[in-house]
Amino acid sequence: RIYSSGPPPLLALRLFCGAGDSENLLLGGARASRVSRRPKAMASAHPSQGLPSGMDPSMVDEYASQSKLLQEFVKIPSIGKAWVFTSKDENASRAMVSVSQSDLLANKKRSFLLNTHISKSSSKSVSFQWSPFPVEMSGVSAVVPSPSGKKLLLVRNAEDDDSPTKLEIWGPCQLENEIHVARSVHGSLYADGWFEGISWNQEETLIAYVAEEPPQPKPEFNDSGYKKEGSSQKDFRSWKGQGDIEDSWGETYSNKRIPALFVANISSGEVRALKGIPRSLSAGQVIWAPSSSYSLVFVAWSDDNGFQETPRKLGIKYCYNRPCALYAAADPFKEEADKPSTDSNKGDTAALVKLTADLSSAFFPRFSPDGKYLVFISAKSAVDSGAHNATNSMHKIDWPTDGKLEGSLSVSDVVPTVMSPQDGCFPGMYCSGLLRFPWLSDGRTMILSSAWGSKEVILSINVASGEVSRVSPQDSDYSWNVLALDNNNILAVSSSLVTLPQMYYGFEDSHTDKPCQWDWQEISSPFPKPSDKVSSLLADHKFSVIKIPVSNPSDKLPDGAKLPFEAIFVSGKDSASSPTIVVLHGGPHSVYPSSYSRSLAFLYAQGYNLLVVNYRGSLGFGEEALQSLPGNIGSQDVNDVLTALDFVKKRGLIDASRVAVVGGSHGGFLTTHLIGQAPETFVAAAARNPVCNLQLMVGTTDIPDWCFLEVYGKEGKNCFTESPLADTLTQFYQKSPISHISKVKTPTLFLLGAKDLRVPVSNGLQYARALKERGVDTKIIVFPEDIHGLDKPQSDFESFLNIGVWFKKYMSK
């Protein structure tokens, strides 16, 4: 696979000059309210005039000092993707690395590219010569190099309904073409997320991609009433109505309805839609097939989500349990006579072939370099059980050498679902993405990232034999992620909760008898070092991954659910006398890895220990442990958290009298459960968009099936309905934190997104207002423009600033 030996295409973009520096920025315009009851140590006679709404006069200095520290962490850039351009000289190559940085004043993330020259020696040492300045990718939604590296696609999605989407084709020294695609052809490209798919053909003449299908016409009205004849011209004496509701794919996709496939000819600028895909299918993740009548392979999700009685779109963000399949279709630019057709399947849908009819899930398709295999990931365990995420499997299709897809295709397993891993052994695949070209030069070995307990690791998978090996260091508790491949070498990033991300270059060690041994060399960093204060705070902390034995496991549990779960303990120099924050992930079927987290670093920099609990049900521990949680939420997960807390208490690692808890989504569900079920344990709590009342949530969330599955277990998938009976609603209430609210006495901070479709704001508001009614010290901040993640830069900043101040108020001696 040969790439251009010259520099990456020149981008006519302005240089990145750094994010705005505003050390006194405190609050971002969100609304706040609180109960004025305080501990005596924090009492203040009267609020000072001129303070922002909801600010405690006794904590003003704390707000100022913590906001200054948080900004030191915010300035640190994050590493995103990378692309390597190899050359005929095997000892030289070039790379581009995308980096992002939060701009608080503009309330957005700024992205930029760094270029580097890679020099390798025969002694397996490598040096990176970085360009002196990065290039800002202002207004760019996606960056996609061509297979040879000689061309580069930049996507600029329209900022308003009247502007076109722009596809810029760059060569080594110039802009070769700029394609403007009108809104009447399609809406914005899916440049990231679940449906994302932008792919060059091997000849580099066509680009296939996924974009929003043009919206259906809306009814128009004027001073005479309804306009029978619509018009594309603007008429300032008329207005458009709403028409019937169109289902969306929920959280983060609220403005997206039907992702569809398009192909652009980069020379002529012509764009054609791929016809024949039913509107009941949403397409994504398109790639080009080897020479074949069926040129395109893509993933499609059905509107009914597998629920025949409830045929509508449900939320898909973080939900791998939505049924999907691989399809093949013809290139729309081919001559009509070349399009395949069969007697049994004529008409518009004749060009579609379903490749994975016998699997409930198939995504991330990749062809082997020789075109013999189509390899893909499956979340069939999630689809079949109903859990929103679960242990993945890998499969392959033997692609016909003649390119004719007639009869049934052979689908075989590469990596099966791991049910109960042996101690220290491969726990199964947990894959959230693949490189566009994940292959080593043998054409059989894929390199990918996956969760392994509380760590992220790099795996190599031989798709011919099914052999799985761990490529990243075996003895490291750090998390590792692959960025790109340089022939048979790996560009990766590694970090820990107490170590900033650092790039590494990996060589396979051919001088050892041990299989899959890799040498890793640290790469000189192009980033400026963090401030002395941040460096000192990070250096003063350490972390360890602790195995927590399950407390009194039931005999009914499968063996995998009886295995120890894990917690990550972060501590400073004097942990035994320091206050501790218990940190809980959402999902519940996700995991808190050991990788660097700016938010958590800010919290432990305040002098806290952190206990990050990956309770049973988390990813990375095998399927039996994961599936033990559905049907037992609010009990098993709560007990696991308390067991982990008791573990560090009994070993004298923390001050048991000063413990706080924080979590978001299902982590907020656990947070509010814990302060009700263990009311004497926590001195403060913070919940971000928490699930507090399943009875209320089931009728308002974009994933009502989640409520049924997590409350009833596997049976929940079969009893899901949009009209639950009274007994079902009662069960939802009893499983909810609100059922324990009468026992709560812990001061609690709520951080809520007003546009959250996953856990609508009413859930947290109802619980918080009930706490205030009972006299519990409560603070509520609502971010009016935020969704579930609260990840707008200003909202994220204000959120964790308030968490830090809230905990300092109640955990100071």
802 lies in the same domain as 654: yes
**Would residue 413 count as lying in a domain?**
no
- Determine, yes or no, domain membership for 714: yes
Is residue 705 located within the same domain as residue 752?
Answer: no
Beta-ladder partners of 139 = none
- Evaluate whether residue 451 is within a structural domain: no
Task: Please give the full DSSP string across 70-93, using - where no structure is assigned.
Answer: HHHHHTS-EEEEEEEEE-SSTTEE
- pLDDT for res 516: 72
Least confident of 141-150, 338-347, 643-652, 747-756: 338-347
- String of DSSP letters for 397-440: EE--TT----SPPPEEEEEPPPSSPPTTS---B--S---SS-B-
Quick one: 642 and 572 in the same domain? yes
Distance CA 305, CA 775 (A): 44
Residue 402 CB neighbour total at 10 angstroms:
10
Nearest to 712 by CA among 735, 696, 693: 735
Number of residues that make up the chain: 813
pLDDT at 237 over 90: no
Domain that holds residue 790: 543-692+747-812
Q: Which residue has the tokens 């290139």?
A: 331
User: What secondary structure does DSSP assign to 330-356, as a single string?
Assistant: --TTS-GGGS--BTTB-SGGGG-EES-
- Whether 262 and 208 have beta carbons less than 8 Å apart is answered as yes
Q: Which two tokens stand for residue 397?
A: 């299709």
More confident residue, 477 or 228: 477
Q: How confident is the model at residue 192 (pLDDT cuts 50, 70, 90)?
A: confident
The last residue of a domain, from among 673, 703, 735:
735
CATH code at 552? 3.40.50.1820
Distance CA 270, CA 179 (A): 8
Please check the confidence at residue 90 and state whether its pLDDT lies above 50: yes
Do 565 and 675 belong to one domain?
yes
In a shared domain, residues 803 and 674? yes
Active-site residue, from 141, 381, 788, 799:
788
Res 413 pLDDT > 80: yes
**Helices 532-539 and 60-74: crossing angle, nearest 10°?**
90
Do 601 and 700 fall within a single domain?
A: no
290 DSSP 8-state letter: S
Distance (Å, whole) CA 488 – CA 516? 12
CA distance 29 to 795: 9
Largest CA distance in the chain: 86
Cβ-proximal residues to 469 (8 Å cutoff; 6+ apart), any chain: 459, 460, 461, 515, 516
CA 560, 566, 571 angle in degrees (round to 5)? Answer: 175
- Are 718 and 805 within one domain? no
| Residue 365 neighbours by CB under 8 Å, 6+ apart | 285, 287, 297, 298, 299, 326, 374, 375, 376
Which one of the listed residues 102, 665, 795, 799 is annotated catalytic? Answer: 665
Q: Is the pTM of this model over 0.85?
A: yes
Whether 485 is in a domain gets the answer: no
Q: Over the range 321-352, which residues count as b (16 or more CB within 10 Å of their CB) and which as e?
A: bbbbbbbbbbbbeeeeeebbeeeeeeeeebbb
DSSP state of 345: B
Is 510 among the domain residues? no
Q: Are residues 683 and 727 in the same domain?
A: no
Take residue 493 and report the two structure tokens written for it.
């990033």
pLDDT digits (tens, 9 = 90+) for 265-302: 999 999 999 998 998 999 999 999 987 778 999 999 99
Q: What's the CA gap between 708 and 686, in Å, rounded?
A: 26
Please report whether residue 28 resides in a domain.
no
Per the annotation, the verdict on 786 as an active-site residue is no
Respond yes or no: is residue 665 known to be catalytic. Answer: yes
CA 771 to chain centre: 32
The domain boundary residue, chosen from 71, 103, 136: 136
With a cut of 50, say whether residue 43 has pLDDT above it: no
Residues 666 and 570 in one domain: yes
Residues 572 and 719 in one domain: no
684 and 594 together in one domain: yes
| Whether residue 243 has pLDDT greater than 90 | no
CATH number assigned to the domain comprising residue 99: 2.10.70
Residue 206 reports pLDDT greater than 50: yes
- Rounded to an integer, what distance in angstroms lies between the CA atom of residue 510 and that of residue 514? 9
Residues 631 and 592 in one domain: yes
Q: Please list the residues that pair with 451 across neighbouring strands.
A: 456
C-alpha to C-alpha distance for 351 and 365, rounded to whole angstroms:
19
756 is catalytic: yes
Domain contains 202: no
Residue from 637, 640, 756, 796 carrying the catalytic annotation? 756
Checking if the pLDDT of 42 tops 70, the result is no
Residues 6+ apart with CB under 8 A from 545: 453, 454, 455, 477, 566, 567, 568, 594
Q: Is residue 289 part of a domain?
A: no
Query: Structurally, how many domains does the chain consist of?
Result: 3
Q: Which residue among 114, 136, 158 closes a domain?
A: 136
Q: Out of 34-43, 341-350, 518-527, pick the least confident.
A: 34-43
Locus of tokens 């790439």: 3
